[in-house]
Amino acid sequence: MSLRHGKEFLMIPGPTNVPEEVLRAMHRPAVDIYEGPLLDTTAYCLERLKHVFRTQGKTYIYAANGHGAWDAALCNTLKRGDKILVLESGRFALGWGEAAEVAGLQAEILPGSWDRSVEPARLEERLRQDIKNEISAILVVQVDTASGVWNDIAALRKAIDAAGHPALFMVDTIASLGCMPFEMDAWGVDVALTGSQKGLMCPPGLSFVAASPKADKAHESANLRTNYTDWTFRQGPEHYQKYCGTPPEHLLYAFQKAMELLFAEGLEKAWHRHALLAEATRRAVGAWSEGGVVDFNISEPHARSNSVTVVRLESDHASDLRQFTKEVCGVTIGGTIGEISGKGIRIAHMGHVNAVMLLGTLSAIELGLEKLSIPHGKGGVQAAIDYLSEAL
Amino acid sequence: MSLRHGKEFLMIPGPTNVPEEVLRAMHRPAVDIYEGPLLDTTAYCLERLKHVFRTQGKTYIYAANGHGAWDAALCNTLKRGDKILVLESGRFALGWGEAAEVAGLQAEILPGSWDRSVEPARLEERLRQDIKNEISAILVVQVDTASGVWNDIAALRKAIDAAGHPALFMVDTIASLGCMPFEMDAWGVDVALTGSQKGLMCPPGLSFVAASPKADKAHESANLRTNYTDWTFRQGPEHYQKYCGTPPEHLLYAFQKAMELLFAEGLEKAWHRHALLAEATRRAVGAWSEGGVVDFNISEPHARSNSVTVVRLESDHASDLRQFTKEVCGVTIGGTIGEISGKGIRIAHMGHVNAVMLLGTLSAIELGLEKLSIPHGKGGVQAAIDYLSEAL
Amino acid sequence: MSLRHGKEFLMIPGPTNVPEEVLRAMHRPAVDIYEGPLLDTTAYCLERLKHVFRTQGKTYIYAANGHGAWDAALCNTLKRGDKILVLESGRFALGWGEAAEVAGLQAEILPGSWDRSVEPARLEERLRQDIKNEISAILVVQVDTASGVWNDIAALRKAIDAAGHPALFMVDTIASLGCMPFEMDAWGVDVALTGSQKGLMCPPGLSFVAASPKADKAHESANLRTNYTDWTFRQGPEHYQKYCGTPPEHLLYAFQKAMELLFAEGLEKAWHRHALLAEATRRAVGAWSEGGVVDFNISEPHARSNSVTVVRLESDHASDLRQFTKEVCGVTIGGTIGEISGKGIRIAHMGHVNAVMLLGTLSAIELGLEKLSIPHGKGGVQAAIDYLSEAL
Amino acid sequence: MSLRHGKEFLMIPGPTNVPEEVLRAMHRPAVDIYEGPLLDTTAYCLERLKHVFRTQGKTYIYAANGHGAWDAALCNTLKRGDKILVLESGRFALGWGEAAEVAGLQAEILPGSWDRSVEPARLEERLRQDIKNEISAILVVQVDTASGVWNDIAALRKAIDAAGHPALFMVDTIASLGCMPFEMDAWGVDVALTGSQKGLMCPPGLSFVAASPKADKAHESANLRTNYTDWTFRQGPEHYQKYCGTPPEHLLYAFQKAMELLFAEGLEKAWHRHALLAEATRRAVGAWSEGGVVDFNISEPHARSNSVTVVRLESDHASDLRQFTKEVCGVTIGGTIGEISGKGIRIAHMGHVNAVMLLGTLSAIELGLEKLSIPHGKGGVQAAIDYLSEAL
């Protein structure tokens, strides 16, 4: 028997639930790209990106996904053969490093693990060894959607400073921007990038890059530039140059509306909302974990992200549970990927998510645990409710 | 602090959550009303109404709300001055009776109460007294959205038959059709009516009437007809006659899509879904009621409807709780109306509602009870989950 | 070979082309009907109706089509057996008179014809004969969509005044409001009504009635009231009373947006736009008529409406031409109905219509006349362009 | 006085009018990217691209605009320092050549002019001179939206073959695919690319590349690859690899629907429709040109494209005319760009365009010419109508 027929949710770590207002904003005719209101939309979006990245630097909009933004960040600032240091803590920094190799860079991995955040001390240590400053850039993700880890960007910056290293500091905020505090300028990040489809509540298809003055300087001598991603061209006076060609109008309408929604709520308020919903989720998982089968993927409590909670579970259980919540309850939760593929679930609480959606999702999971006889401590939802009652 | 920013729900007893597919179906240009695909839409809708009312009788579509359908039922079948018997069990049968008075009928109320269903024995008794068969029609609602009561239509029919009374039996299924079993022909209902905006998952603005052969017969001598509601005209050969003028095209597209969704799920399956979600709600309310403040409005357990649960609560509590679930959690629950106005809440679980929406709503209420220090037994959501785990 | 694949238009006299903004306005979730923003929408709509009808009188919104508004106008103001005078000039005043008969009124027709407007002198003459003031109401349409006639409401009012007759003056503006000047108060109209789906650019399903103080007075003693249409109830303090039940929310969103569009353009500017487009159409028809087969239905030039031009054409020609413009060119033009059914076409230029749509439609018709070898004077589109070049 | 208030059109050479069905297809929630219906959408789109390019080769979908596809074509097949030959005939082949320079290629221009197509004989001559086969690739556009030229791809292929040259033949069909015949395999094209927002009737944001076996072979040794555009990665087994990251779901829904519409009409029928509408446009321009001020940009009649007609006009006239058609009539026509910037207009007739839209646009232009006293021969629309009457 299915109880699925109602509004279905997508509680996976991207793409996320797109607000109705955002979808509605896309449902309109194409407009002229040389004059008229689209130019205001562009100006608004570029400006809002500064606020959301917390930077005075330049911002860029790409018709591309996050992987396209990876390329844009690297190709605009580096030279062929440059060495970069990739800070491992799950899947996505490694992926970015692989992209760098394709582009003609040398990627060195600072080894990490899937269940922990990057240790600032190890970064500092490695940089101190780099006496010749051969490392041109340091790549890290703020949140890894595969492992669920949160890396402490401010602390990593301090480690770089402690080592006195001049490398560009590049941060992928795809799974965190809009969900958790990020302070590009205050934290000394040189290049930050993100995508439209997670905390920013839009359909996928846009990605964004922000560059500090130091990155601008590096750009001048970069020799990996491609026409489509080139910052210099995109700083040109014509509107179409901002996009190197035809602007992706409908996705821009969507993004404009999403920014209006985000700043109507307030960016700090959105961070706070994510913090509360994430902790409620962790309370539920904590209760369930008492059954001995369910557990957090990230072993360090402080390093569990506020945008996604990755939960370890035996393989069949994970698959059965995800099928149950989707087909019986109406909510899709994420499966695990990469080296923990099939060994857990990912509960996303990022973007356009409120208390009723989150508590409904946790309830569906607890119902599934019970119905499917997966060993678990009871009272997960109760623990989430109790926590919120105190924290609100 | 608000956790509202996400998909907001409307868990009030009408209008209900409109499926995205239904909204999308309305988002299209107007079309010709004399020829082309709209004629197929009309044929489809009239036919599906037979299935949803479970009748071989004629069906009618009105651009009107449920009150318009009340008039249509009465004016097409009765004569000025006719006496009707109104079976009280909340607010809406009385309202229908008031409409009858405006139309020039005499309405007699069979007294009932807001916390109980209509008793078949009392109906039978009253009809036995009507030796001259002065009562032309009997009016009842299957579910009253104000009190939350469910009336046993089959049992009432038996009472009429036991009394051997010839009155037309008219049933308002506005708050029940698509949610709970209704068998127009099998139960001997002469006129049934409903609206688009509750179990049928559409925007408000359409209402529907079905007529048995006995009602058709009565129609022949009815003298309260109005042009707009007249069945005879609407049975004419031209397409526009089906609507007595311009068809409400966009609402028809919506209704067509909603019927496709309902029958894709299966009508019986939809009834079963409502039964499970309603009982889960009652389990939660039952747990909360142990605090001594929360209670069911309907005292008879068997007469609590599967489309809405009406809960008694002190006045300030009710108002505070509704405000909390809406502004902090993102779900609007109903207030009480009529003689219990301000004295409770109405939790709707009708139409396009799945497990995650319902459990999220119950969680939000329980969070509100806790946060607002409203005395209540804990574990309401847990009880709902436990019930569903067994019942699924 | 078809050249149809593009945006298709509906140039029929209702429903008309719905602006994208209006369709988009409907594409949203249902909301609470007891509190919140819907109450503002209602207030806005009722107020805007005063502006569009040009009245200080009360306005009413019905979930119903124009035929429902006919009933509402009659039932709220008249008594059983009252005599009404119907001013014939096509199909629709007669239809309203038939509705009156169903409601229990006596309808007398002031005979007219399908090719002329109502003559004020004949009205005055008939009223002078009514020495006992037996006529309670006079019914007329401002524009008849079947014949294409425009009646001079101000002149008819003068005729009534000249006869010193006290009857209520009721005007159906379904096919004219928003398209041509209408001045309810200045012209002494007692009851005016219209629908949503023509000049007001909305989907069908709503109709509107405005009442003068004299009509309000008549309402007090009216005995044909029905619950659903009753003005007294709808003037009650509760929001739901404005609609006698659940408000048709999505259609209200649409209407609100349409009013915003209309008043952003400016009501007088919209009238002017219709005047220019209508005359351009008449210039084209005038040119085509030189072939001896095409002709205006309305013989009096001054009485041709600015919302629809009805053109006479032999039966096969009309059918072939309509099929050609639709299937080859992408524009649906209207067929004729009633006593001239099949004998012509109706070119609507009402509501959301601009120069490119109108000229494209005229071009498609001229292409059809040529391709189908229907005898016609050439240069119709050229004449339209020449006219607009001078008139703009 | 403005007659603008109605459906506004965008008759510019991209983005074009997006069908309502396509916009509606995007108006839906995001879905899972790892499993479920999105995988079918991807398979469908990749397969349809083969049909629309007329190839058995591999097809690729990029979240990017056409400039992104330029990079993808070059970087996947060439080596740093390779020489390419750019066939000039307007703006866009030159732009592609500039992109090639950024990527590290040497671009040689085969000079052409803005008013003529590329001459096959000159290409053959140049290739015969390239005795060492230093030219690795030949770049050309089928239609240049800036000049309005159409290049004869089949004839250019023959010239290459006549010279016996092994260079890759790369064709930009951004402004022609779906509008004019293109036969990738039959004509021996090695890499073809296009965008979503012109003949393919979608919002901008997607671009497409197709590769022949010869291009696949070249890919193996290409050393300009970037991670995001790399064909090898995109041929991987996982769904996300097809997009190198998150698929642009909503644009894919749009593209799927657009392909359904295109193939429902029939690709050849769509070509034929464009041919007829384009010739009708040229007939109108021909008539107007008799005034001595208006003229075709392309001097060779056979080389005027069927997707856009570029018209020369003095600077003030062009600007005034475009403003008039937009603000008075409701249709936006294109301005000229590049070296003829400000010196004319571009009338697009590409994608979702039917007879009524095209004839309405031509009428608006003729009205503008007349109203603004721009010298012109009269009867342009008449000439278009006369032509279509014969040609249909």
A188-198 tens-digit pLDDT:
999 999 999 99
| Whether the predicted pLDDT of D315 surpasses 90 | no
Choose the closest CB to C392 out of D5, D328, D354: D328
Under a CB-based contact definition with an 8 Å cutoff, are residues A97 and A109 in contact? yes
Query: Hey, are the CB atoms on B70 and C228 less than 8 Å from each other?
Result: yes
**Largest CA-CA distance found in chain C, in angstroms, rounded:** 66
Contact of A19 with chain D, judged by CB distance below 8 Å, is answered with: no
Q: Which residue out of C17, C22, C24, C31 would a mutagenesis test of the A interface target, given it has the greatest number of A Cβ atoms within 10 Å? A: C24
Give pLDDT, residue D386: 98
Calculate the dihedral angle through the C-alpha atoms of D237, D239, D242, D247, rounding to the nearest 10 degrees.
-170
pLDDT in tens, A320-329: 999 999 999 9
pLDDT in tens, B108-163: 999 999 999 999 999 999 999 999 999 999 999 999 999 999 999 999 999 999 99
**C-alpha angle C282-B247-C57 in degrees, rounded to nearest 5:** 75
* Cβ-based contacts of B24 with chain D (< 8 Å): 24, 27-28
| Whether the predicted pLDDT of B240 surpasses 90 | yes
| Whether the predicted pLDDT of C278 surpasses 90 | yes
Q: What is the C-alpha to C-alpha distance for residues D147 and A100, in angstroms, rounded to an integer?
A: 39
Which two tokens mark B139? 């009016």
SS3 B47: helix
* Cβ-based contacts of B367 with chain A (< 8 Å): 355, 359, 385, 388-389
Residue ranges matching CATH 3.40.640.10 in chain D: 20-263
Query: Hey, are the CB atoms on B261 and A359 less than 8 Å from each other?
Result: no
Q: Name the residue in chain B with its Cα closest to that of A274.
A: B3
Query: Hey, are the CB atoms on D27 and B27 less than 8 Å from each other?
Result: yes
Q: How does strand C83-87 pair with strand B206-211?
A: unpaired
Give pLDDT, residue D314: 85
Q: Which residue out of A246, A336, A350 would a mutagenesis test of the D interface target, given it has the greatest number of D Cβ atoms within 10 Å? A: A246
Residue A80: count of CB within 10 angstroms of its CB: 13
Q: Which residue out of B8, B283, B320, B354 would a mutagenesis test of the A interface target, given it has the greatest number of A Cβ atoms within 10 Å? A: B354
Residue percentage of chain D with pLDDT more than 70: 100
Give pLDDT, residue C315: 81
Residue ranges matching CATH 3.90.1150.10 in chain A: 9-16+266-391
Q: What confidence tier does B314 reach under pLDDT thresholds 50, 70, 90?
A: confident
Q: Name the residue in chain C with its Cα closest to that of A7.
A: C29
Q: What confidence tier does C5 reach under pLDDT thresholds 50, 70, 90?
A: very high
* Cβ-based contacts of B8 with chain A (< 8 Å): 354
pLDDT in tens, B351-376: 999 999 999 999 999 999 999 999 99
Under a CB-based contact definition with an 8 Å cutoff, are residues B131 and B165 in contact? no
Query: Hey, are the CB atoms on C378 and D381 less than 8 Å from each other?
Result: no
Sign of CA dihedral C95, C100, C106, C108: negative
Give pLDDT, residue D370: 98
| Whether the predicted pLDDT of B315 surpasses 90 | no
| Whether the predicted pLDDT of A333 surpasses 90 | yes
pLDDT in tens, A123-162: 999 999 999 999 999 999 999 999 999 999 999 999 999 9
pLDDT in tens, A56-109: 999 999 999 999 999 999 999 999 999 999 999 999 999 999 999 999 999 999
- Chains contacting B with at least 3 CB pairs below 8 Å? A, C, D
Query: Hey, are the CB atoms on D17 and A24 less than 8 Å from each other?
Result: no
Q: What is the C-alpha to C-alpha distance for residues D271 and D307, in angstroms, rounded to an integer?
A: 10
Element at A273 (helix H, strand E): helix A267-288
Under a CB-based contact definition with an 8 Å cutoff, are residues C336 and C344 in contact? yes
SS3 B226: coil
Q: What is the C-alpha to C-alpha distance for residues B155 and A151, in angstroms, rounded to an integer?
A: 66
Crossing angle for the helix pair B355-371 and A380-391, to the nearest 10 degrees = 40
Q: Name the residue in chain D with its Cα closest to that of A335.
A: D34
Contact of D111 with chain A, judged by CB distance below 8 Å, is answered with: no
Choose the closest CB to A10 out of D24, D32, D71: D32
Which two tokens mark B302? 């068997």
* Cβ-based contacts of D367 with chain C (< 8 Å): 355, 359, 385, 388-389
Which two tokens mark D171? 């064709």
- Chains contacting A with at least 3 CB pairs below 8 Å? B, C, D
Query: Hey, are the CB atoms on A204 and D98 less than 8 Å from each other?
Result: no
**Minimal CA separation from A67 to chain B, in Å:** 27
Mean pLDDT calculated for residue range A345-351: 98
Choose the closest CB to B29 out of D20, D28, D29: D20
- H runs (alpha helix) in chain B: 20-26, 37-53, 66-75, 92-102, 120-129, 153-163, 213-221, 231-234, 249-265, 267-288, 315-324, 355-371, 380-391
Give pLDDT, residue C260: 98
The string over D233-268, giving b where at least 16 C-beta atoms fall within 10 Å of a residue's C-beta and e elsewhere, is: bbeeeebbebbbbbbbbbbbbbbbbbbebbeeeebe
* Cβ-based contacts of B20 with chain D (< 8 Å): 28-29
Task: Tell me, rounded to whole angstroms, the distance of Cα D265 from its chain centroid.
Answer: 20
Interface of D with C in 263-282 (CB under 8 A): 265, 269-270, 272-273, 276-277
Q: What is the pTM of this model?
A: 0.97
| Whether the predicted pLDDT of B312 surpasses 90 | yes
Mean pLDDT calculated for residue range B82-89: 98
Mean pLDDT calculated for residue range D283-307: 97
DSSP lists the bridge partners of residue A208 as A61, A194
Residue percentage of chain C with pLDDT more than 70: 100
Contact of A6 with chain C, judged by CB distance below 8 Å, is answered with: no
Q: Which residue out of A24, A31, A257, A356 would a mutagenesis test of the C interface target, given it has the greatest number of C Cβ atoms within 10 Å? A: A24
Q: What is the C-alpha to C-alpha distance for residues C228 and B102, in angstroms, rounded to an integer?
A: 9
Choose the closest CB to A356 out of B270, B331, B353: B331
**Minimal CA separation from C9 to chain D, in Å:** 9
pLDDT in tens, C132-188: 999 999 999 999 999 999 999 999 999 999 999 999 999 999 999 999 999 999 999
* Cβ-based contacts of D6 with chain C (< 8 Å): 17, 352-357
pLDDT in tens, C22-49: 999 999 999 999 999 999 999 999 999 9
Q: What confidence tier does D112 reach under pLDDT thresholds 50, 70, 90?
A: very high
pLDDT in tens, D22-60: 999 999 999 999 999 999 999 999 999 999 999 999 999
pLDDT in tens, A165-190: 999 999 999 999 999 999 999 999 99
Q: What confidence tier does A314 reach under pLDDT thresholds 50, 70, 90?
A: confident
Query: Hey, are the CB atoms on B250 and C75 less than 8 Å from each other?
Result: no
**Of 3.40.50.1010, 3.30.1360.10, 3.40.50.720, 3.90.1150.10, which CATH number belongs to A9-16+266-391?**
3.90.1150.10
Give pLDDT, residue D49: 98
Query: Hey, are the CB atoms on B356 and A364 less than 8 Å from each other?
Result: yes
CATH 2.40.390.10 fits A20-263, yes or no: no
Q: What confidence tier does C314 reach under pLDDT thresholds 50, 70, 90?
A: confident
Under a CB-based contact definition with an 8 Å cutoff, are residues C138 and C167 in contact? yes
* Cβ-based contacts of C24 with chain A (< 8 Å): 24, 27-28
Q: Name the residue in chain A with its Cα closest to that of D250.
A: A203
Mean pLDDT, all residues of chain C: 97
Q: Which residue out of B18, B28, B65, B252 would a mutagenesis test of the C interface target, given it has the greatest number of C Cβ atoms within 10 Å? A: B65
**Minimal CA separation from A357 to chain B, in Å:** 6
Q: What is the C-alpha to C-alpha distance for residues A382 and A377, in angstroms, rounded to an integer?
A: 11
Of A176, A188, A210, nearest to A350 (Cα)? A176
Query: Hey, are the CB atoms on D27 and B24 less than 8 Å from each other?
Result: yes
